[in-house]
Amino acid sequence: MWNTLSYRNVLISRFLNILYPSKCPLCGNLTDGFIYSPICSSCWSKIDIYKGPSCEICNLPFSSEYSRVCGQCIKNPPPFSMVISYGLYDGVLAEAINQLKFYNVKRLLKPLGRLLLNFDLPEMDGLVPVPLSIRRLRERGFNQSLLIARVISKNIRIPLLMDTLLKVRETPPQTGLSAKERLLNLKNAFVVKGNVEGLRLFLVDDVMTTGATVTECSKQLLKAGAKEVVVLTLARASMM
């Protein structure tokens, strides 16, 4: 009798979980709140600011006794002046970004965007989100970078420059390409439409990997007259 009941309970709870997925994807415990759901608050509290050594320009985690700038940035100085990222792209932060992007869990936007308010951000004139192509935007239904930029804009009152930078060409996925191939892949994909003359801008993206996207976007913004570009991302990944 006990066995039958408990078996039935397991079935019911499995069924409920299919209907209302409420288990934390990281630890498997039941989600205990709505704000970070499906991530539980205990896992959420483990999202850490990356405080380890990193390149002064591109923020790539690295350490050297001789230089505070990584080899890549010495060889090919990037167009942006610096990169500010909250944490490394792994663990809870990576899961939260993936839940937002690929499972459409938009309630994570606010807590994710607010992570970036933990920094003393430099004074800038506007926030420019990294754009998606029209096709990708239709598929996903939203641009996560724009939504993150909006959260920041509301909280620190820096104007959000929507439709200033556009992605005018659909590009094949960057995964599996080398850093050089990624840059080539994005050539002429972005166009500046708004007036950015003399402005110091934050360029906002969710994750920075090789930096090909933010490099290409920064180049276009500077070419259009922007004075400076600082990249702001939730997470910094190493080459995937």
List contacts with Zn ion (CB under 5 A): 24, 26-27, 40, 43, 55, 57-58, 60, 70, 73
d(C-alpha 193, C-alpha 145), whole Å = 18
Would you state the structure tokens that stand for residue 79, as one six-digit string? 């167009």
Per the CB < 8 A criterion, the answer to whether 44 and 92 are in contact is: yes
Dist CA 203 CA 230 (whole Å): 6
Query: Shortest gap between Cβ of 226 and Zn ion (angstroms)?
Result: 21
Task: Give whichever of 42 and 185 is closer to Zn ion, judged by the CB atom.
Answer: 42
DSSP state of 57: T
Tallying the residues shown for the chain, one arrives at: 240
Q: Judge contact between 73 and 27, C-beta under 8 A.
A: no
- Find the shortest distance in angstroms from Cβ 159 to Zn ion: 29
If the CB atoms of residues 60 and 186 are measured against Zn ion, the closer one turns out to be: 60
Judged by beta carbon, residue 26 or residue 128, the one nearer Zn ion is: 26
The minimum distance between CB 114 and Zn ion, in angstroms, equals 19
How far is residue 235's CA from residue 77's CA, in Å, rounded to a whole number?
21
Which residue, 96 or 196, has its beta carbon nearer to Zn ion?
96
Closest to Zn ion by CB, 146 vs 232, is: 232
CB of 46 to Zn ion, least distance (A): 8
89/131 with CB nearer Zn ion: 89
Q: Name, in order, each residue with C-beta under 8 angstroms of 216's C-beta and a sequence gap of 6 or more.
A: 183, 186, 187, 189, 190
Per the CB < 8 A criterion, the answer to whether 234 and 112 are in contact is yes
Min. distance of Cβ 143 from Zn ion in angstroms?
A: 26
Site of tokens 């070419």: 223
In the complex, minimum distance from the CB of residue 31 to Zn ion, in angstroms, rounded to a whole number: 8
The Cα–Cα gap between 161 and 163 comes to: 7
